[in-house]
Structure 1
Amino acid sequence: MAFRMTRDPEQRRLLLLAAILFISYLCVAVALPVVPVHVTATLGLGNGWAGFGVGVAFLATILSRGYAGALADKEGGKRAVQRGLGLYVIGALVSLASGLALGSPVLSFAVLVAGRLLIGLGESMVAVGVISWGIGIVGPQNSGRVLALVGAAIYGALAVGGPVGLLLLDRFGFTGTMAASAILPLLGLLAIRPIPAVAVHATAARPPLWSVIGRIWPHGLVVCLQGIGFAAIGSFFTLYFRDQHWAYAGLGLTAFGTGFVLVRILFGHLPDRFGGLTVAVVSMAVEAVGQMLIWSAGSPDLALLGAFMTGLGCSMIFPAMGREVVHLVAPHLRGTALGGFSAFQDLAYGLTGPLAGLLADRAGYSAVFLTGSLTAACGFIIAVLLRSRQAATAAS
C-alpha cells in the first residue's frame, strides 16, 4: 500500500492533511455533475454553455498556477491552502446566487461563472499548497507517494461528490446544494489550524515561470492528454446517460473515482520504486481502453466499466510525471514547477468542457469519449518516447 499504518508523526500529519483535503474538496466535487444539469435543465441553455460552466473554473486555475506556486515557495504551503479554502467558500456562495430568480438565464449564468472563477482560483492554491506542504513534511524522496495520496483524497471526493451532488440537487435544489458545499471548506479551514507549517527554503535566484515550464513541458503534455478523459466524464457522463435513458446516471464519477482511489491506495508507491515514466506508459494505455469502452458501450454496465477503467488509468499519471518534475528542479522552485506542471492538467479540464460540448451538439455524446480515447493514445506515445530518451541518457 502507498502508506501503511505508522507511528511516524510526519506520516500521520500527512494522512491528516489528506483527510482534510478530502472533506474540503467535496465543495468542488459536488458541483461537477450539478452545474451541467442546472445550466441545461434550469437555465435552458445548451451543452456548450454547460461545458463552459464546468470548464471555466479550470481555466481560472490555469491562470493562477504560477502565482499559487510562487506563494507556496515564498510563504509556505499552509498559507496557500488557507487562502484557497477561503476562496472555495466565497465561490460556492456566489454560485448559490445563480439559483435565485434573477429574471434572466444569461444573468444567472454570468453569476455562476463568477462563482466558478473564484472556486478555480481557490483550487489552484489548495492543490499546489497541499502538495508543497506534504513534500515539506515527508521529504522529496517520497514525492511520488505524496502526489499519490493527495490525488487519492481529491478523486475520492469526486467519487463521493458526484452522487451526493445529484442527491442534494433533487432534495434541496441548486441553491441548497451550493450552500451545503460552502460549509465543507469552512470545516477544512478549522481543521488545518493545528497542523504546523513547514519552513520555506532560503530565498534564491528565481528564473521566470516560462523558463521552468521549458524544462517540464513534455511531462506536462502527458498529464494534459490524460486529463481529457476525466474531464469528459465529469462534464458529460451524466448527460450521456440521460440521453440514452439509462439508469445510474450519477455513478459515472463514482466508478471513475473508485478505480482511481483503488490504484492510488494499492500502488501509490510504484513511481518511487520503478520510475514515473514506466508507470505512465502503462496507465495511458489503460485509460485509452476505458474511454473506448464508454464510446462503444451498448449498455450502462459497459459504460460504467469504461469509467472505472478510465479511473484506473488516470490514477497514477499525475504522481508519476510529477515525481519526474520534482527531480528536475531545485528545491526552492518545487512549488513553481508543480504549479506550472499542474496547469497542463487544468488546461485539459478547462478546454475539454466547452469544446466537447460543441462536439456533443454536432456528433452526439459518445463522440466525446472517442476523442478521449484518441488523446490518451497520443499521451501513451509521448510517454514511451520520454522513457526511451531517459533510458538512452542513463546509458550514455
Structure 2
Amino acid sequence: MQRAADESLITPQFALVTVVALAVFVGYSFTIPVLPRFIEGPLGGGSLAVGIGVGVLSVSAVLGRPFFGRVGDRSGRKVLILAGALAMAVGTGLLVVVDSYAGLILLRLLVGAGEGAFFVGAATLVNDLSPPHRRGEAHSYFSVAVYLSLGLGPLAGELLLDIDHYDRVWIAGAVVTLLGLLLATRLPAHVVPLDDEDRPVASRRLVHPAGLGPGLVIGLGVMGYVGFSAFVPLYVDDLGLGGAGPVFAMYAVIVLAVRLLGARLPDRLGPALVGRVAIICSAVGLAFVAAVPSRLGLYLGTAVLAVGMSLMYPALITLATSRADDSEQASVIATFTGFFDLAAGAGGALLGGVAAATGYRGAFAAGAAVAMSGLIVLARVAEPSSTVGPGADGPSTPRARG
C-alpha cells in the first residue's frame, strides 16, 4: 500500500536504525586516526603501507556487496545489520593480539565485509521506512549519524590512545560496536516478498544497472576523501599541530549542519544539480589543503570539502534508488555503495603511492583532480536518456516483516 503523502518521516523505527548506525560507526571510527600511527609505529610500515592498510577493507566489502544485496532483497535487511555489526566488532577487538602487518590486513578484511553488509542493510531499511518523495531527505538525516561518528570516533580514539595505548582504542571500539548490535536486535526486517519470477530482471543481476553511474561518480569523490582521512593524521605533524582529532571534529560538525539544514535539497532541486555542487566543493577543498600548507589552509580546505561531501551522498543515492523498484532496492544500494569500497581500495593504494613519491600535499592535490573528474561522468548520468529505468516514475512501498 502506498504511503500517504503527509506521513511522518521521523518514526521510532527510523530513529532506531539511525542510532544503531551511530553506535556502530563511532566504534569503527575510533581507529581512523590511530591505525596510521599503529602501522607506522609498532608495525614499522611506511606511507604505502598506511594507504593499503587503511583501504584494504574495501576488498572484502566490494566482493561481498552483490551477495549482500541479494540477501537483503530476499531475506530482509536485519540479518545484514546484525551480521555486519558482529564482524566489525570482532575485527576491531582482535587487533589487541596483532603484532604483524599481515595479521592487521586479515582483520581489516573482516571489518570490511562487516561494514559492507551493515551499510547495505541499514541504508536499505532507511529507504524502506521513507515516503518515496522524501527519500533524499531521509538519506540526509540517516547519514548524519555516519558522519557525526567521523567526528566523535576519531576524537575519542586519539584521547584513548594517549601516545601509545593502542589496546584501549581497539577494545573500546569493539564494545561500542557491540552496543549498536544489541540495539539492532529490535529493528524490523523489511522485505518485498516476491518470487524470483516476479522480480525485475535487473534485481537478479550481481551488479544492478541503476547503481552504476551514480556509484562511479561518488566513488571518484570518495577517493579524494580516502587520501584526506589517511594522511591528515600524519600531515598535522608536518604542520606542527597537536593532532588530527579537531580537524575531523570540525568536518563532522559542518557535515551535520549541512545535512540537517539542507536535507530537502536533493528532493527539491534534483539530485543531479546537487551532485554537481557537491563535486566542485569537494575538489576545491582538497586543492586548497594541498596549495596552502598551514593551519589556515588545512581548516579552510577541510570546511569546503565537508560541504561537498555532505551533499554528495544523499544526492547520488537518491538518483540511484529513484530508478528501481522496491523489490530490488538492496541490490541497487549494494551496487552504489560498492563504489565506496572500490574507491577506498584504489584511493588508498593510488594516493598512498603519490604520497610516497611527492608527499602528503601531492596526495591531496591528486585527490582533488580525481574528484573533479566526476563532473564528466555525472553529465552523462544526468542525461534524460540515462535516467530512465525500473521505477523511474517512483518506486512502490515495500511491505514490512517484523
Taking structure 1 as the reference length, the TM-score comes to 0.90
Alignment partners' CA distance in 2, 1:93 and 1:247: 27
Partner in structure 2 of residue 289 of structure 1: 284
1:365 counterpart = 2:367? no
Equivalent position of 1:346 in the other structure: 341
Offset at 1:168? 1.2
SS in 1 for 2:31: helix
**Cα distance in 1 between the residues matched to 2:9 and 2:314:** 23
8 Å Cα contact 1:232-1:368 kept in structure 2 = yes
Q: What is the CA–CA distance in structure 2 between the aligned matches of 1:49 and 1:342, rounded to whole Å? A: 25
Determine the structure 1 residue equivalent to 2:394.
Answer: none
- CA 390–321 in structure 1, closer or farther in 2 if over 3 Å, else same: farther
Superposed counterparts of 1:248-327, under 5 Å = 248-327=243-322
**Paired residue for 1:137?**
129
CA distance in 2, matches of 1:53, 1:208: 33
| C-alpha separation in 2, matches of 1:350 and 1:140 | 33
CA distance in 2, matches of 1:352, 1:266: 30
1:182 equivalent in alignment to 2:174: yes
User: 3-state SS of the aligned residue for 1:194?
Assistant: coil
User: Where does residue 88 of structure 1 map in the other structure?
Assistant: 88
Q: Is 2:210–2:332's contact at 8 Å kept on the other side of the alignment? A: no
Q: Which position in structure 2 is the counterpart of 1:20?
A: 20
**Other structure's SS at 2:276 match:** helix
Note the C-alpha offset of 1:250: 2.6
- Report Cα offsets for 1:2-28 as digits up to 9, x if no partner: xxxx99586232122212211111122
CA distance in 2, matches of 1:86, 1:16: 18
Which of 165, 173, 178 aligns to 1:173? It is: 165
Distance 1:46 1:153 in 2: 32
2:212 to 205, 217, 229: 217
- Per-residue CA deviations over 1:331-371 (Å, capped at 9, x if unaligned) read 21110111011011221112211221111111010011101
Report the CA distance shift for 1:211/1:54 in structure 2 as closer, same or farther (over 3 A).
closer
CA positional deviation for 1:143 = 2.2
Question: For structure 1, which runs of at least 5 residues remain unmatched after alignment?
Answer: 1-5, 103-107
Shift of 1:390: 5.9
Amino acid at match of 1:186: L
- Separation in 2 of the partners of 1:240 and 1:9? 41
| CA deviation after TM superposition for structure 1 residue 384, in Å | 3.4
CA contact (8 A) 1:238 1:252 kept: no
Matched, 1:126 2:118: yes
CA–CA separation in structure 1 for the residues paired with 2:215 and 2:182: 33
Cα pair distance change 1:293/1:225, threshold 3 Å: same
> How big is the alpha-carbon RMSD for the aligned residues of Structure 1 and Structure 2?
2.3
Map Cα deviations across residues 46-95 of structure 1 (whole Å, 9 max, x no partner): 11111111101122211111111111111111111011111111111222
* Alignment TM-score, normalising by the size of structure 2: 0.88
CA 1:381 to 1:187, structure 2 compared with 1: closer, same or farther past 3 Å?
same
1:247 & 1:175 partners in 2: Cα distance?
A: 21
Specify the alignment match of 1:198 in structure 2: 190
Provide the C-alpha distance between the structure 1 equivalents of 2:9 and 2:312, rounded to a whole number of angstroms.
28
- Measured in 1, the distance between the counterparts of 2:219 and 2:362 equals 19
The aligned counterpart of 2:227 is 232
Tell me whether 146-155 or 281-290 shows the greater mean CA deviation. Answer: 146-155
Q: CA 1:365–1:53 in structure 2 vs 1: closer, same or farther (change >3 Å)?
A: same
- Alpha-carbon distance in structure 2 between the residues aligned to 1:248 and 1:222: 31
Looking at structure 1, the residues matched to 335 and 156 of structure 2 have their Cα atoms a distance apart, in angstroms, of 32
SS at 2:194's partner residue? coil
Deviation at residue 147 of structure 1 after TM alignment: 1.9
Residue 160 of structure 1: how far off its partner (Å): 1.3
Q: What amino acid is the match of 1:48?
A: L
1:155 aligned partner, one-letter code = Y
Q: Is the 8 A contact 1:131 1:146 kept in 2?
A: no
Which residue in the other structure is 1:11 paired with? 11
Q: Which moved more, 1:183-192 or 1:171-180?
A: 171-180
Corresponding residue SS for 2:324 = coil
Alignment of 1:87-126 (within 5 A): 87-98=87-98, 102=99, 108-126=100-118
Q: Cα distance, 1:156 vs. partner?
A: 0.7
Contact 1:19 1:153 in 2 (8 A): yes
Equivalent AA in structure 2 for residue 235 of structure 1: A
Instruction: Judging by fraction of residues, say which structure has more helix.
Output: 1
Once the two structures are superposed, residues 197-221 of structure 1 have per-residue CA deviations (whole angstroms, 9 ceiling, x without a partner) of 3243323345476574444322111
C-alpha separation between the residues in 2 aligned to 1:72 and 1:385?
29
2:148 aligned residue (156, 164, 187): 156
1 CA distance for matches of 2:241 and 2:351? Answer: 21
- Counting matched residue pairs gives 380
Aligned-residue sequence identity (percent) comes to 27
Query: Does the 8 Å contact 1:81/1:125 carry over to 2?
Result: yes
The aligned amino acid for 1:71 is V
Deviates more, 1:11-20 or 1:40-49: 11-20
Aligned residue type for 2:260: I
